[in-house]
Structures are given as structure tokens and as C-alpha cells.
Amino acid sequence: MNPDEALEFCARWLPLWTGDRPEELAAMYTDDLYYRDPARPDGIRGKADFLAYLRKLLARNPRWRWEAVETFPLEGGFVLRWRAEVPLPDGREVKVEGLDLVFVREGRIVRNEVYFDRSALR
């Protein structure tokens, strides 16, 4: 995937992390997906478990805002450098930066690994 294709993909995918729309977001992923983030370091396999995770996660965090900063092409996907604004329960808003490994098959994500420092969210 070239950088322009990756950014176009991110323009459709990242906004789905804002708001409480787990089914719409899960539709961007294959049924046999693998997903991991710092909260789930052992990862999640399969859409049913991923959707259950998203339902809880997005319900607690409906006002996240995500921005693609830069993409780096990989065979079958890309690395995304991103920036997010994360509202906290105490009213503060924290800016976080991180990286995603994103592998795409037939227009949907088959593997998504999220890396960032969670210490700012505590």
C-alpha cells in the first residue's frame, strides 16, 4: 500500500474510533482479524471477541479524536504514526502519540497492532 492509499484508508478508518459505533468500526476488519493494544497485550483473535472489546472500549471513550500524522508503506499494509486527543474522566484532555502496524486484505484490516505509552492516561 503506498502512502496516499494508506492515508485515504486512514481517512475512512480513524473517524470510526470516535463516537460509540463499534459495529461500524468492526466492519473495517476481517472476520479472522488479530488486534492488540497496550490494554490487551496478548491480543484478540476473531471479530466476535474484537466486537465485544470495542463495545466496552468505545462506550467508555466516545470522544476520542484520532489524526493520521504519517504513513510508512509495508508489503500488505502500512505503519501509521498517529496523534490522539483523549478526554479523561477528570475533565483533562491528554494528547498521545503512537504507532499502529496495519495489514490489509481485500480492503479490510486483518492485523492491527497499536503501540503507545499509556502512562499519560493514568
- Flag whether pLDDT at 61 surpasses 90: no
pLDDT at res. 121: 72
pLDDT at res. 11: 96
What backbone torsions phi and psi does residue 57 show, to the nearest 5 degrees? -65, -50
Render the burial of 89-111: b for 16+ CB within 10 Å, e for the rest.
eeeeeeebebbbbbbbeeeebbb
Give me the chain's average pLDDT, please. 94
- Note the pTM of the prediction, 2 decimals: 0.93
pLDDT at res. 18: 93
- Residue 68 has which C-alpha cell? 493520521
Quote the percentage of the chain above a pLDDT of 90. Answer: 82
- Flag whether pLDDT at 88 surpasses 90: no
- Flag whether pLDDT at 86 surpasses 90: no
15-35 residue pLDDT tens: 999 999 999 999 999 999 999
Domains delineated in the chain: 3-121 (3.10.450.50)
Q: How many CA atoms lie within 13 Å of 96's alpha carbon, on the beta-carbon side?
A: 23
pLDDT at res. 90: 84
Q: How far apart are CA 75 and CA 12, in angstroms?
A: 20
